[in-house]
A and B are shown apart, each in its own frame.
Chain A
Amino acid sequence: MHMADALISPVVGGAMWAATAGVAAYSIKKVQTEMDEKKIPLMGVMGAFIFASQMINFTIPATGSSGHIGGGLILAILLGPYAGFLTIASVLAIQALFFADGGLLAYGCNVFNMGFFSCFIAYPLIYKVLMKKEYSTTRIFLASVLTAVIGLQLGAFGVVLETLFSGKTELPFGTFVLLMQPIHLAIGVVEGLVTAAIATYIWNARPEIMEKASSGETIGNISIKKVVAGLVAAAVVTGAGLSWFASSNPDGLEWAMIKTAGTAELEATGGLHQQLSDLQSKTAFLPDYSFKASEEEPEPSGGEGEEAWPAVDGGTSTSGLVGGSLTLILAALVGGGISLMKRRKYRINS
């Protein structure tokens, strides 16, 4: 479910970063006020545990294939939603940095899709409610599977929306949803089953851990409402701000939404690169892309906000090919030259 940078636009990435930062700030405040500092090493080591346990392949009965866990739900169950969210966030940060699993600009999207939905929506609204009365194997089983499935469905839908608003792929909304949701239904069931197995084991072996985790925080509906409200506000303000700053039509993001939903056709472009490409077409797209004429080409006359398909003709594409290859050769030469010089220096020194 990790989103890469190549598939998101700066506006979507920025808005999701803001939303994630908002939830993280709230969670940090909660952890600071409500928990003892003993939980910090626990969070750290649990993050490492999740990371390592993602390497365990669990054989899925009757299919012959195997799957691994994401770990968002087990973290929420054992650490509570706030500490769980922060732990998932740091696991994702390390995955992005060391394994390029998910991009840095897409980090906000990823934490939101994989952390927020399971810790702040699915966990309190399903798991907590189902487990309110009593702990039993059946209940743990039911609650885990249901929570994991719903958390992952929401996360997968988040991926679909974020990708579509970014407008980098041509995938129609319906196709993308039909691709993502069923796959994540299967993943969610596996996640739920494994989580249930682990939670049941812990419940049998060390019930006090589960009890402490569930009684430690007061997850009333109020705090959840606050989180959601703050978050929506943060996302809207940032999204709107970025789009306003970025695009000639102030409601670029909303426009993209309506357009996507209405026509199921992808013409959505985030605001920032729209303006930048407008700027670019003003400054760089000289007529015939040669230096003979000095007039500026009129702005691309495509539909409102529609991305300009550069009017390519034979001559310009040749220029592009020649210039492009030259640029790459130049880059390779510079890099190779520096390496060669460095190596020679070492040889002289040694």
Chain B
Amino acid sequence: MANIADSIYNMRLLDDLARQETLIHKLHPLVKLLTTVSYLTVVVSFGRYEVAGLLPLFFYPVMVLALAELPLKPILLRILLVSPFIIGIGILNPVFDQQTFELAGKEFSRGWVTFLSILLKSGLTVTAALLLIATTGMDRLAGALRILKVPRIFVLQLLLTYRYISVLMEEVARTLRAYSLRAPKQKGVHRSAWGSLAGQLLLRTFDRAQRIYEAMCLRGFAGEYHSGEINKISGWDWAYLGGWVAFFVLARMYNIPLLIGSLLTGVIR
């Protein structure tokens, strides 16, 4: 999250993607939220030596990606961006778990299995979270939170934060550009300007908040943020949720790749 332009671009991209009208986008936001949460729970509930059992769970992101007509590249990029920390922690597993096992005639440390398992889980969970926002959008997701009885203040606050991020990021970008033009050959903000640069921005933020509040009051703000109609949950929505949850439970209980594999190798034998 170092680069402002990248961050603004990323948020706008996800906003844009969420505005499509595909099969997945039309689903009820609450259904998508619940599906995502059950998916994440199932993925992280796998033991640390599990690799093969996780593979059937690839079906969910692949299907949603395809049905929602989302581009693969930005999501893969995001996975790469967040993986250094995961790799940093996971790469120590082969160091600490030296017990070995044999696969295809070669010896491997068990730690590599746990490492691979963490990597898979990381990729799957990051993708699932991004798919949720890329097919739902912030406003509709906030609607789902309201249906779940998340307090009004929090949802309102979340939406306001979201709404003003791009405004304030642009302001920060302008300020930093102005600063860097006046402070050549300098990597960051010099100590002498720490307080005044960030403090000025903060004071402007306070004033902006005041103006926003007054504008909201003039337009009849009475404590509720209306983000448009959200339809009732239809039968099709329930079927979507039920179908996926049933699949996740099956994939959790049965090691599907192993079953397929043993069936095939058994037949060959």
Contacts and interface: CB of A to CB of B under 8 A. Distances in A.
Interface of A: 2, 4-10, 13, 24-25, 28, 31-32, 37-38, 40-49, 51-59, 61, 64, 66, 69, 74, 78, 86-87, 89-91, 93-101, 103-105, 163, 167-172, 175, 193-194, 197-198, 200-202, 205-206, 209, 266, 269, 272-273, 276-277, 279-280, 283-285, 289-292, 307-310, 312, 314-324, 326-328, 330-332, 334-339, 342
Contact of B11 (A5, A86, A98): A98
13 contacts: A40-B160, A42-B209, A48-B161, A58-B194, A168-B121, A170-B92, A279-B253, A280-B53, A280-B254, A309-B110, A317-B102, A327-B260, A335-B65
B47 A307 contact: yes
Contacts of A168: 48, 114, 118, 121
B96 interface: yes
Interface residues of B, number: 127
Contacts of B191: 58-59, 61, 197
Nearest to A170: B96
Interface string B28-41: 00000000110011
A317 to B, nearest CB: 5
A95 B213 CA distance: 25
A217 to B, nearest CB: 16
A314 B105 CA distance: 8
Given A9-B44, A310-B49, A89 B261 contact: no
Nearest to B41: A10
Given A308-B47, A323-B262, A45 B208 contact: yes
B258 A197 contact: no
B253 A284 contact: yes
Contact of A104 (B7, B36, B169): B36
Q: Is the interface of B mostly helix, strand, loop or mixed?
A: helix
A312 B103 contact: yes
The 8 closest A-B pairs by CB, nearest first: A44-B160, A323-B261, A201-B199, A323-B257, A47-B161, A319-B261, A197-B195, A66-B188
A51 B194 contact: no
Contact of A52 (B44, B92, B168): B168
A94 B129 CA distance: 11
B52 A56 contact: no
